[in-house]
Structure 1
Amino acid sequence: MNTAMLSPKTVYAAYLVVKFADRAYGLDFLPSEISIEVGKSRTQGQVYLSPNEGRKRPLGHAHSPNRVEPLRSRLLQEEGGAICKRKDGWMEIELGSFFIDGNDKEVKISLKEVKGQHLKGGLIVEGIELRPKY
């Protein structure tokens, strides 16, 4: 999407809006990679997708399975949020935030996991929402 569609001089947060099927599997074994690009600036981070609040992490993973863990960078200005349940029944995960400086640029947001060889299923994606953060 082009930043001309957004308000200038505004910090936006990107949220992935999802549901998990009753028999979701393989989504939280490895973290998924998130990235946000605004023009030539790119930020990367990680998120564990987990439909189960108390599910244990594989050995070597000390992070909460419901915690979004973006890496520090210029665009992601603070730690991402946990998976939050919305009033409409969907769940949202804050992927990160970015600043619109008023110049026309393209915004690209992605979530992917390509390093593991585990089967995955049961993730239902409604889309990505962009909302002013402040």
Structure 2
Amino acid sequence: MKEQELPEGCIAEILSYAATPADVLNLSLVSKAFASASEYDTVWDRFIPSDLSSFLPSSSIPSSTSKKALYYALSDNPTIIDQGKKSFQLEKRSGKKCFVLSARDLNITWGGTSQYWEWTNLPQSRFEEVARLYAVCWLEISGKINIRVLSPNTLYAAFLVFKMIDASGFHHRPVELSVGILGGSSSFKNVCLDPSLEDDELDDTFLGLQRPSEREDGWLEIEMGEFFNSGMEEDELHMKINETTSNMWKHGFILEGIEVRPKHVR
């Protein structure tokens, strides 16, 4: 039987076994019949998390005329959840879940003391508040997320999302980043957070260290570490930013949050 003789419903059933939304879009180019079948709800329903209602209030779920439209609504823009403390989004090409823990969802040492940190808003942020560092010599920030809300069988990475404006004090010691499962092993790495620092301003402890890169939304990000979610874990993922050894005052760091998203390895 030729492909043109197959009912659209049968083609849609075939497309529903595609591994990713990107595969569906590629297959939709095969013919007009495949393009029409690729619009079916049965194709896109499998890419929408079955536990969506467990962390996304019904009032926050976009009203859509089709499952494909709902998928794109969830992947095109972040949805703010958890009383404004987190955002949720589907990664468009894979359909995997992504979360950003806002600064308010993190534990910031001295974060409630106005002489050290200021809570303010920035038009570029997805959240109502970000944390602006006035001056601390003890920089310590930590966060956690339940692994069960993430997509199973997926390699994830955590990224620190921030800005540096008139920053100072970050050239004395590298900042330590760590990611690990509660009760398990953690990965540690030293990084240079200030991208404006020149090599001749740094000592040998900074040689070869990773630096942040600029995102499409204008924020800086730097990878903190990775982990594989097998889908069998019931624990929490713990993430930490730490620089407490230099005793030098630091300034000009603006924290939006920590993003946990799938990591694609070439």
TM-score, normalised to structure 2, is 0.42
- For residues 60 and 8 of structure 1, the distance between their equivalents in structure 2, rounded to whole angstroms, comes to 40
How much has 1:28 moved relative to structure 2? Answer: 2.7
- For residues 175 and 155 of structure 2, the distance between their equivalents in structure 1, rounded to whole angstroms, comes to 24
How much has 1:60 moved relative to structure 2? Answer: 2.9
Whether the aligned pair in 2 keeps the contact of 1:29 and 1:57 (CA below 8 Å) is no
How much has 1:117 moved relative to structure 2? Answer: 1.1
The answer on 1:131 being equivalent to 2:261 is yes
* Structure 1 unmatched ranges of 5 or more: 69-81
- For residues 216 and 188 of structure 2, the distance between their equivalents in structure 1, rounded to whole angstroms, comes to 29
How much has 1:14 moved relative to structure 2? Answer: 0.8
After the TM superposition, which of the residue ranges 83-92 and 121-130 deviates more from structure 2? 83-92
Indicate which of 144, 156, 162 corresponds to 1:18. 162
Whether the aligned pair in 1 keeps the contact of 2:146 and 2:235 (CA below 8 Å) is yes
Whether the aligned pair in 1 keeps the contact of 2:151 and 2:229 (CA below 8 Å) is yes
**Secondary structure of the equivalent of 1:56?**
helix
The answer on 1:46 being equivalent to 2:190 is yes
Deviations 1:51-104 (A, max 9, x none): 41535243333515xx42xxxxxxxxxxxxx41111211111111111112121
- For residues 108 and 47 of structure 1, the distance between their equivalents in structure 2, rounded to whole angstroms, comes to 18
Whether the aligned pair in 2 keeps the contact of 1:24 and 1:51 (CA below 8 Å) is no
Select the structure that is richer in helix.
2
Indicate which of 223, 241, 247 corresponds to 1:117. 247
Higher RCO by CA contacts (8 Å cutoff, separation 6 or greater): 1
Taking the TM superposition and a 5 Å limit, the aligned residue runs for 1:27-46 are 27-39=170-182, 40-46=184-190
Q: Cα gap change, 1:99/1:63 in structure 2, threshold over 3 Å: closer, same or farther?
A: same
* Structure 2 unmatched ranges of 5 or more: 1-144
How much has 1:112 moved relative to structure 2? Answer: 0.8
Indicate which of 217, 220, 232 corresponds to 1:88. 217
How much has 1:17 moved relative to structure 2? Answer: 0.5
How much has 1:46 moved relative to structure 2? Answer: 1.0
Aligned to 1:61: 205
- For residues 59 and 84 of structure 1, the distance between their equivalents in structure 2, rounded to whole angstroms, comes to 21
- For residues 57 and 95 of structure 1, the distance between their equivalents in structure 2, rounded to whole angstroms, comes to 24
- For residues 186 and 161 of structure 2, the distance between their equivalents in structure 1, rounded to whole angstroms, comes to 22
- How many percent of aligned residue pairs carry the same amino acid? 36
- The one-letter amino acid of 1:107's match is L
Select the structure that is richer in strand.
1
TM-score, normalised to structure 1, is 0.79
**Secondary structure of the equivalent of 1:116?**
coil
Pairs aligned (count):
118
Whether the aligned pair in 1 keeps the contact of 2:191 and 2:206 (CA below 8 Å) is no
- For residues 133 and 86 of structure 1, the distance between their equivalents in structure 2, rounded to whole angstroms, comes to 15
Larger radius of gyration: 2
Indicate which of 96, 101, 114 corresponds to 2:230. 101
